[in-house]
Amino acid sequence: AQSVSQHNHHVILSEAASLELGCNYSYGGTVNLFWYVQYPGQHLQLLLKYFSGDPLVKGIKGFEAEFIKSKFSFNLRKPSVQWSDTAEYFCAVNPRGTGTASKLTFGTGTRLQVTL
């Protein structure tokens, strides 16, 4: 069975600071990788996704993530955070070959708090 680890549980940054959230997964086969964001009171929204190809993927709102296969990692980055980025961030994996995009294994989430 696959598992996902997010090492940062709660991160506090000042506006304009750079962000990097770690995500490591454990799975013997090929996976699709995702970052979802949950703003307070809102539903989970897809930030970005990686299926194949260029390991550096760009998502919405200036976020990007890099897939490093040898490290089983998919870290999320943003050069300059804004107060509106305050939210909870979830890394998730979906094994290939299951025939579905909806059998996701999530990390425990990282709560990001951006201060003015």
Partner 1 sequence: KAGVTQTPRYLIKTRGQQVTLSCSPISGHRSVSWYQQTPGQGLQFLFEYFSETQRNKGNFPGRFSGRQFSNSRSEMNVSTLELGDSALYLCASSFGGFGADHTEAFFGQGTRLTVV
Residues found near partner 1 in the complex (CB under 8 A): 32, 34, 36, 42-46, 49, 51, 90, 92, 94, 96-109
Minimum separation from the CB atom of position 37 to partner 1 (A): 11
Residue 11 tokens read as: 């991160």
Minimum separation from the CB atom of position 54 to partner 1 (A): 15
Minimum separation from the CB atom of position 91 to partner 1 (A): 11
Q: What separation in angstroms does the CA of 95 have from each of 6, 27, 100, 101, 115? A: 18, 8, 9, 9, 36
Amino acid at 102: S
Minimum separation from the CB atom of position 116 to partner 1 (A): 27
Positive or negative torsion for Cα 33, 102, 84, 11: negative
Minimum CB distance to partner 1 smaller for 5 or for 86: 5
Minimum CB distance to partner 1 smaller for 6 or for 19: 6
Specify burial of residue 92 (Cβ count, 10 A radius: 0-12, 13-18, 19+): buried
Minimum CB distance to partner 1 smaller for 69 or for 99: 99
